[in-house]
Amino acid sequence: MDDKGRIIYQTVYESPVGALTLTASEDALTALSFPQERYPEDVERLTKECEVCIPAADKIPLILRETREWLDIYFSGKRPDFTPALAPEGSEFRKMVWEELLKIPYGCIITYGQIAKQVADRKGILRMSAQAVGGAVGHNPIGIIIPCHRVVGTGGNLTGFGGGIRTKEALLKLEGMDMGRFYIPKKGTAL
């Protein structure tokens, strides 16, 4: 159980990019994590001191069934026409960044600098650090559905992705992106 006495449910979804761990409360998805998670402590924090239930296939809660359906549609190469209920945990700033990520259309990309501008506008300030935005993007607990893979560096740099750069590349290809316009840096946070 979590700090409110709720059970946290987990299941694994076998995807083309590896086994994804889905974590949810009774009514909302709280994490979608990759096999090679960049910040595993974020995921561990979600289940610390909680009763984690791994339900039998016929007892999976509705929220996890809806998430699986969303992923089935997504990995079939189509744009899902619904979003499962989401409840990512994080600071108000991170949540604001994640809300901006949800606005990025399927098959489109945006830069960290563009998100920083959007967040600055929402906060009514002149500037926002793209690095601060990058930190929030990097700690997104619900990969793919909150599409942090659609964020790229200036000039098409495929930098920064919690599930690994090859996974980011595969997700962008799945969405029909022309990968010739991007590059993988030789060193840095993307690898």
Catalytic positions = 148
**Interior CA angle at 143 toward 65 and 123, to 5°?**
120
And the tokens for 128?
A: 């926002």
Q: Which are the contacts of 171, defined by CB distance < 8 A and separation ≥ 6?
A: 17, 144, 149
C-alpha 24: how far from chain center: 14
Q: Residue 127 has which token pair? A: 């500037």
The three-state secondary structure class of 128 is coil
Q: What is the dihedral of CA 43, 111, 118, 90, to 10 degrees?
A: 10
- Rounded Cα gap, residues 132 and 139, in angstroms: 11
Q: Give residue for tokens 């300030």.
A: 125
Report the helix count and the strand count for the chain, using DSSP H and E. 6, 6
DSSP-assigned letter for residue 3:
T
